[in-house]
Amino acid sequence: MNKINKIETKTDYILVITNAILLFVATKNAFPIYLYAFFAIIISFYFFPIRLIINLKKDVTQENKINLIATGLIFSVLLIFSILNLYIPNSLSFKYIIYTISFLNFGLIIYYYMKFNQFLLLNFIFGFITSLMV
């Protein structure tokens, strides 16, 4: 359990919680959507290429590399579709894509818990962002 937790930093948690708050406020029209889009794109770029590059320089196991890639892709794609969902709120295709990616996220949580007895808290928190979108 310690190896995956060492990969997740406080910055990751702060960015995910900040994004959840901004998404909630943007859905209530109290925060401009274009500002949320700006922040979500920055956070999305952090989770896929930047976080991956930073953590792959460290000595990580193969399971952690797979977790980094899968988690980074899931988070980045969900953030991009959260922007699209705000601009086109009644699009069923975006909602189905978000549902599918969310199930992949929870599947990843279950897989790591069953195989390695490790709970992916960051993925679980990111699931709340999905519940805000739909």
**pLDDT tens-place values along the chain, 134 residues long:** 445 556 788 999 999 999 989 998 998 888 899 999 999 999 999 998 898 888 877 777 787 888 889 999 999 999 999 999 899 988 899 889 988 999 999 999 999 889 888 888 888 888 877 777 76
What is the CA 79 to chain-centroid distance, rounded?
7
pTM of the model: 0.86
Give the 3-state secondary structure of residue 30.
Answer: coil
The domain containing residue 105 runs over which residues? 2-133
CA distances (Å), origin 48, targets 26, 32, 67, 97, 115: 23, 25, 12, 19, 24
**Count of domains forming the chain:** 1
Task: Please check whether residue 4 is in contact with residue 112, taking contact to mean a CB–CB distance below 8 angstroms.
Answer: yes
Give the separation between CA 1 and CA 119, rounded to whole angstroms: 8
> SS3 for 57?
coil
Compute the distance between CA of residue 130 and CA of residue 61 in angstroms, rounded to an integer: 29
pLDDT of 40 reads 94
